[in-house]
Structure 1
Amino acid sequence: MSRRWLFADQLGPHFLDDRRQPVLLIESKAVFRRRVHHRQKAHLILSALRHRAAELGDQARFLRTETYAEALRKVREPLEVRHPTSRRALEFVRRRDGVTVLPPRGYLTSLEDFADWADDRRGALRMEAFYRFARVHHGVLMQGDEPVGGRWSLDTENRQPPPKQADRLDVPAPPMPKEDDIDAEVRADLDRWEREGIRFVGRDGPRRFPATAKEAKSRLRHFLRHRLAMFGPYEDAMLAGDPWMAHSLLSSSFNLGLLDPMEAIRGAEQAYRKQGAPLPSVEGFVRQILGWRDFVWHLYWYFDAGWQRSNALAARRSVPRWWTELDADAVDARCLSDVLADVRDHGWVHHIPRLMVLGNYALQRGWRPTELGAFFHTSFVDGYEWVMTANVVGMSQYADLGRMTTKPYVSGGVYINRMSDYCGGCRYDPKKRLGEDACPFTAGYWAFLARNRDRIPGNARMARAMKQMERLSDLDAVVAQEKQRGNDPP
């Protein structure tokens, strides 16, 4: 029996076909030398890897080395490995003698089935169409040949702003892991690595995300029982005092391979069919996993490698240091300051702060998409290259002019005001685009449209905004104002 090499994002029991199969685990220090990672992300990865080694005991050979190549020189037996999650890693394992690459696991639709679906499409690929295909293909939330409830997407019912006068959602808090001796060892090693010159950003723990399959399954069960019902209506809402809202906090568990996505999907489906969980919440959760997560995974492999370097809006500014260092205290704009602080303190925010605060601000300023993708990759506990290529380069920054989205995800401060409680305590006015108290998002929105009016393709969803921009009497002054603001923190 060949030894199964498990990467640090392939740690769940579903990555082994035979529970008795010998395993190879490698901890590479060079990964953290190459790029500056969030301290809590480094802790989570190392904790998960070491916990898996402890679970497997003598079944696993666990090597801690500077590089993967150094570790593999110590292994003489044949190895097999599941398809890695980055092109660089895939090329690396394919170059090794004696290593067999198996099909990927941890995703629902196979590479071949996605390619067949995508090859049959004409024009740009869209998640909504793929999601329908996947629902039918995998028999999820179906009633015969039709979707349960008669509609494929209930997204329109899941866009409520946060409850007024509420500091937090009225929902049980997510269960947090209890650190153990392995976490203490990881923390001591990271402290030592920092003294040796390896640098991290963000603040240290406590560890807030699962490092074992047992912890991930416990969080999933709690979410399905206590938080799922509130997830749907408020999945796009933001509250300054509630970074978790009703989200599952399972993205890092899926991306570390601790949790089988189908287990979560079937659990949500059962919560609807047997426990009466609201269908909009269940469908919204399923869509995030079966639809969006699988979709961005497959686009990473289906599109050519050059897609990652797309920059069709000619964004030339470098991402500033105050941003990459998570210097939230340098920022006056309340929404941006609070979201950067959450990334600094937790290594995580949910999808709307990522898209409509961080991504929106970066898009308006014209920051290089590849630099921004690297920031999300290294600063978020669930960040990986395959995730961030689509989510940042393709969706958030519209750098490919719509290969996967219908329009830029850009908005002024009015959207943030509607979907959060940030604007009430901010020095900037979301209704103003010009002047000292002009909201940087509102002003940035119009400056972005003016700068890219000849680059953004004609689009029915953007036509109204473009016409409104052309009628602004103060547009030139707004553009000049934003140019003067430059990359300084707002």
Structure 2
Amino acid sequence: MSRRWLFADQLGPHFLDDRRQPALLIESKSVFRRRAFHRQKAHLVLSAMRHRAAELGDQARYLRTETYADGLRQVSEPLDVCHPTSRRALDFVQRQGRVTVLPARGFVTAMTDFADWADGTRRSTLRLDTFYRFARLRHEVLVEGTDPVGGRWSLDSQNRRPPPKKAGRVAVPNPPMPREDDIDAEVRADLDRWEREGIRFVGRDGPRRFPVTRREAQIRLRHFLRHRLSAFGPYEDAMLSTDASMAHSMLSSSFNLGLLDPMEAIRGAEKAYRADGAPLPSVEKFVRQLLGWRDFVWNLYWYFDAGWRDSNALAARRTVPQWWQEIDADVVRAHCLSDVLDGVRSRGWVHHIPRLTVLGNYALQRGWRPDELVDWFHRSFVDGYEWVMTANVAGMSHFADLGRMSTKPYASAGSHLDRMSDYCGGCPYDPKARLGENSCPFTAGYWSFLHRNKDRIRDNPRMARPLKQLAQLADVEAVAAQERQRGSDPP
């Protein structure tokens, strides 16, 4: 039997063929030496690897080396590995010659099945909605024969409530928090020592907030399905400065570390609807995120060519500024951006709506390079990996591929933030103003972005109305000049 090489995002039992299979885990210090990762992400990954090695005991060989190559030189027996999650890792494995690459695990729709579906669409663009229907039917999730449960494939129209601003939070119990142990203490001490040796991190250290073992992840999943799922759908697109997690599952890092198989969560949500009476709109939304969105962007990363990550069709040429790279929320006055950046700095995590409508939206409007943002999101979030951030940035928020996977740029003005969050109250900027000292950087940035890119997006039918509104603005040149002067300075 070959020894199974487990990467740091392949830590669940479903990455081994049986409970006795010998395993190899390599902790490569050079990964953290090359780029500045968030301190809490580094802690999470190392803690998860070391906890998995402790669980496996003598079944696992755990090597702490400078590079993966150094570790592999210490292993002479045959190795196999489940398909890695990045092109760089796959290329490295294939260059070894002696490592057998197995099909990917940790996702629902196989790469071959996705490729057959994508090839069969015979379209230049691929859309989540059509893939999601295919996946629901293929895996028989929330369907009755060939029809969706409830009669509609998407129930998004019932899941767009503004946040409960008066209450200040969604009325659900907080997710269970893990307890740190001796392994966490060892990891923290090692990271402190690495910093003294010159390895640099961004963000702040803090108590571990996310699971590092399958048991911890299962406890959080069960709690979510029982206590938080019902409220997930209605407020899924909303934000509150006083409620960072709202009703989100906070399980993305557990799926991306491989601690949970997504299908067990999907079936758990389906059971919550069929047996326990959970509201269908919330269940459908959660299933859409896992079976639809997560599998869609994973498969697109491999289906599209390697150049997709470097797409830049909107000619965003500005480099990401230092204050953003360092996650310096203190220099920002705009309430929404300051709070969201502070969440990244303090936790290494904010849920996906502030990532898109605040962080991605702001960077898109400023014309920052999408490839640099893919890297920043990858390093700065505990659940960040290249395969998902390529789609989130190059494909979605930045529209850098001109619509290979989404229908329009994820751009919005301050009015949208005002409607879907509590951020605008007390902010020094006016979400209705696009010109002047108190003009909202998102409102001014939105019109400046449209002005700058009107020729590139004029043929997009979903942008016809905004571009018509742009043509009617008498002050658009002044707004564009104002935003050029502001540049990439913190707002």
Query: How does the TM-score come out when normalised to structure 1?
Result: 0.99
User: Is the Cα–Cα contact under 8 Å of residues 401 and 457 in structure 1 kept in the other structure?
Assistant: no
Q: Which residue is equivalent to 1:320?
A: 321
* In the alignment, structure 1 residue 234 sits paired with structure 2 residue 235: yes
CA offsets 1:24-69 (integer angstroms, 9 cap, x no match): 0110000001110000000000000000000000000000000000
User: Which ranges of 4 or more aligned residues in structure 1 deviate by more than 4 Å?
Assistant: none
Structure 2 contact 225–272 (Cα < 8 Å) conserved: yes
- 2:283 maps to what in 1? 282
8 Å Cα contact 1:26/1:63 also seen in 2: yes
Check if 1:81 corresponds to 2:81: yes
Q: How does 1:463-478 map to 2 (within 5 A)?
A: 463-478=464-479
Structure 2 CA distance for aligned equivalents of residues 253 and 204 of structure 1: 19
Alpha-carbon distance in 1 for matches of 2:205, 2:312: 34
Q: Secondary structure at the match of 1:62?
A: strand
Q: Which residue matches 1:107?
A: 107
Please tell me whether the aligned partners of residues 158 and 235 of structure 1 are also in contact (alpha carbons under 8 angstroms): yes
Q: Are the equivalent residues in 1 in contact too, given 2:175–2:223 (CA < 8 A)?
A: yes
1:453-468 aligned at under 5 Å gives the runs 453-468=454-469
Deviation at 1:15, TM superposition (A): 0.6
Matches within 5 A, 1:338-487: 338-487=339-488
Deviations 1:245-292 (CA, angstroms, capped at 9, x unpaired): 000000000000000000000000000000000000000000000000
The sequence identity of aligned pairs, in percent, is 77
Q: Residue type matched to 2:5 in 1?
A: W
Report the residue type matching 1:376 in the other structure: F
Tell me the CA shift for residue 123 of structure 1. Answer: 2.6
Distance (whole Å) between structure 1 residues aligned to residue 451 and residue 76 of structure 2:
61
The superposition leaves residues 104-125 of structure 1 with CA deviations (integer Å, 9 ceiling, x where unpaired) of 0001001100000000112300
For 1:92 and 1:374, how far apart are their aligned partners in 2?
19
Query: What residue is the counterpart of 2:244 in the other structure?
Result: 243
Q: Does 1:116 align with 2:102?
A: no
Secondary structure, aligned partner of 1:455 = helix
**1-side partners of 2:320 and 2:21: how far apart?**
45
- Residue 53 of structure 1: aligned partner: 53
Which residue of 2 is the match for residue 69 of structure 1? 69
* SS in structure 1 of the partner of residue 425 of structure 2: helix
Aligned to 1:40: 40
Tell me by how many angstroms 1:460 deviates.
2.1
- Cα RMSD of the aligned pairs, angstroms, is 0.6
Instruction: Give the Å deviation of 1:163.
Output: 1.2
Once the two structures are TM-superposed, the CA of residue 457 in structure 1 deviates from its matched residue by 4.5
Paired residue type of 2:47: S
What secondary structure is seen at the aligned counterpart in 1 of 2:457?
A: coil
Q: Deviations over 1:433-490 (max 9, x none)?
A: 0011000000000000000001115122111110110110111110010001001000
Say whether the 8 Å CA contact 1:2–1:78 is kept in structure 2: yes
**CA distance in structure 1 between the partners assigned to 2:381 and 2:167 by the alignment:** 27
Whether the 8 Å contact between 1:332 and 1:427 is mirrored in structure 2 is: yes
One-letter identity of the residue aligned with 1:478? V
SS in 1 for 2:77: coil
Does the residue aligned with 2:101 lie in a helix, a strand or coil? Answer: strand
| Partners of 1:274 and 1:202 in 2: CA distance | 43
Deviation of residue 167 (structure 1)? 1.5
Q: In the alignment, is the contact (CA less than 8 A) between 1:5 and 1:79 conserved in 2? A: yes
Query: What's the secondary structure of 1:424's corresponding residue?
Result: coil
Asked if structure 1 preserves the Cα contact closer than 8 Å seen for 2:165 and 2:421, the reply is no
Match of 2:261 in 1: 260
What's the secondary structure of 1:453's corresponding residue? helix
**Structure 2 regions of 5+ residues with no counterpart?**
none
Name the structure 1 match of 2:204: 203
The letter of the residue matching 1:381 is V
Q: Which residue of 2 aligns with 1:219?
A: 220
CA distance in 1 between partners of 2:165 and 2:390 (Å): 36
**1:145 aligned to 2:152?**
no
The aligned amino acid for 2:194 is: W
Gaps of 5+ in 1: none
Q: 1:28 matched to which residue of 2?
A: 28
1:303 alignment counterpart: 304
Q: Partner of 1:61: helix, strand, or coil?
A: strand
TM superposition shift of 1:164:
3.2
CA distance, structure 1, for counterparts of residue 79 and residue 98 of structure 2: 6
User: Is contact 1:319–1:368 with CA below 8 Å preserved after alignment?
Assistant: yes
Superposed CA offset, 1:390-409 (max 9, x none): 11111111000000000111
Instruction: Report deviation, 1:175.
Output: 0.5
Structure 1 SS opposite 2:63: strand
Cα distance in 1 for partners of 2:462, 2:455 equals: 16
What is the alpha-carbon distance in structure 1 between the residues aligned to residue 229 and residue 2 of structure 2?
Answer: 41
SS at match of 1:322: helix
**Residue equivalent to 1:176:** 177
Contact 1:411–1:445 (CA under 8 A) maintained in structure 2: yes
| Residue-pair matches, total | 490
Asked if structure 1 preserves the Cα contact closer than 8 Å seen for 2:8 and 2:49, the reply is yes
Deviations 1:63-89 (A, max 9, x none): 000000000000000001000001111
Query: Do 2:165 and 2:240's aligned partners in 1 also have CA atoms closer than 8 Å?
Result: no
Find the aligned partners of 2:211 and 2:435 in 1 and give their Cα distance: 46
